[in-house]
Amino acid sequence: MPELPEVQRAVNLIKRVGLGKRIAHVDTAEDSIVFADTTHSEFAQELNNRKITNVQRYGKQFYIELDGKGRLPLLHFGMTGMLHVRGEIPLFYKEGPKKIDTNWPPRFMKFVLHLESDEPKDASTSNAITELAFTDPRRLGRIRLRNSPRTEPPISDLGFDPILSMPSLEDFSAMVLKRSCPIKALLLDQSFNAGVGNWVADEILYHSRVHPEQRCNTLTSEQISNLHHQTKHVCETAVSVDADDSKFPEDWLFKHRWGKGKREKPSLKLPTGGLATIKWITVGGRTSAFVTELQKYTGNPDLPSPKTPSSKKRSRGSKRTKKVRAKEEEEDEGESDLTSLSDEEFSSPKTPSKKRPRGGKSSKTRARVEQEDEEESDLTALSDEEEPLKSSPAPKRKVRMIVETE
């Protein structure tokens, strides 16, 4: 999923090709899922003949400011959303396809803005129209219209932005210490901070030397200070190079964290010069990469230690397929944007629960289904009304009758 740096890159792109230009025409494709709270035709009518005056970002949301009366487009990429400029190579998230499709409009297009300059045309000025497209293959992105995007949901429901509104160390410390969930889960909670996704969170924790499963209320003042600094620093560093990962520092975990399930071993070096050991665990429903030599778990002794990833070799015949590895990488990239993770989900030890009526959902199952619904995932939850499995008939018991005779 595109995170804060990638979204800022999209903002920079719109400013470069569209700032000061008039939207002469809008092409749209009907999609009742991606176009939220509006229709594709209404979206086009709202934008026609208005000039782009600015582009703003907050967290992973971004919006285009236009002149004149009317609502403003508020955009979110979801898992696979992208911007394309006709005639330019697209800026892919992480890595692009081997062969770039040059057809126009691009596949999975949701809208295309036809941008025209209002400047007087002369021999030295090109009168060509710039075409900017928004695509989304998996349809998890959202296109909205808002009168005041910054003060209305979903932006108004988000936490602080690490670049735009980073709190003071004192306030940050209070916000973290009152929680008992793993720190990785808190960093992914968009109601805590907006814009930090999976790889950014792992990078923050790596440079802070904090284990992803470390409980928030067990962090030391030094660890919290490191987290406060790195949350802002990692985001600003990635944004400063326009989210071009080839320009990320060589000592970043990002350069080596994508090796799960691959034969090539990570080559990240420790400060001592030796090779780092990168492990992958699941925290808050997401895959987390961390360096075992530098990120030690030092939690509350009353709480169980996290399970160490198994290093045993797989048994013969249990090789993962490409589809399974792709699914793991997809889960690694995704996270909910608005769901707050409850501290109770990670509390331990667990108290015995009462037996549920047969067929009833557990609270964890309900929370998972609600999160998937809020994220508007394309994975559907099983219905409670589905026909239960037929149980096999009970075996007949033989009855022996004893007759007493006088």
Ordered DSSP codes for 248-295 = S-TT-GGGTTT-TT-SSPP-PBPTTSSBP-EEEEEETTEEEEEETTT-
Per-residue b or e along 104-113, where b marks 16 or more CB atoms closer than 10 Å to that residue's CB: ebbebbbbbb
Which candidate in 5, 6, 60, 182 is catalytic? 60
Catalytic (active site) residue 2: yes
The answer to whether residue 65 is catalytic is: no
Estimate to the nearest angstrom the gap between the alpha carbon of 322 and the chain centroid. 22
Catalytic position from the list 3, 203, 213, 335: 3
Rounded-to-integer distance, Cα 236 and Cα 254, Å = 15
Written as one string, the DSSP assignment of 6-69 is HHHHHHHHHHHHHTT-EEEEEEE---TTTB-SS-HHHHHHHHTT-BEEEEEEETTEEEEEESSS
Q: Assess whether 60 carries a catalytic annotation.
A: yes
For the chain, how big is the Rg over CA atoms in Å? 26
Q: What is the distance, to the nearest Å, from the Cα of residue 231 to the centroid of all Cα atoms in its chain?
A: 16
Q: What residues form DSSP beta bridges with 355?
A: none
**Tally of CA atoms within 13 A in the half-sphere of 200 that contains its CB:** 33
**The tokens of 234 are what?**
């990692």
Query: How far apart are alpha carbons 343 and 119 in whole angstroms?
Result: 56
Backbone angles phi, psi at 358, to 5 degrees: -60, 130
The gap between the terminal CA atoms of the chain, to the nearest Å, is 88
HSE-up (13 A, CA, CB side) for residue 225: 3
List all residues 6 or more positions away from 220 whose beta carbon is below 8 Å from its beta carbon.
Answer: none
**Which tokens sit at 224?**
């919290």
Give the three-state DSSP class for 222: helix
- Of 89, 285, 314, 95, give the one whose Cα is nearest residue 189: 285
**What residues act catalytically?**
2-3, 60
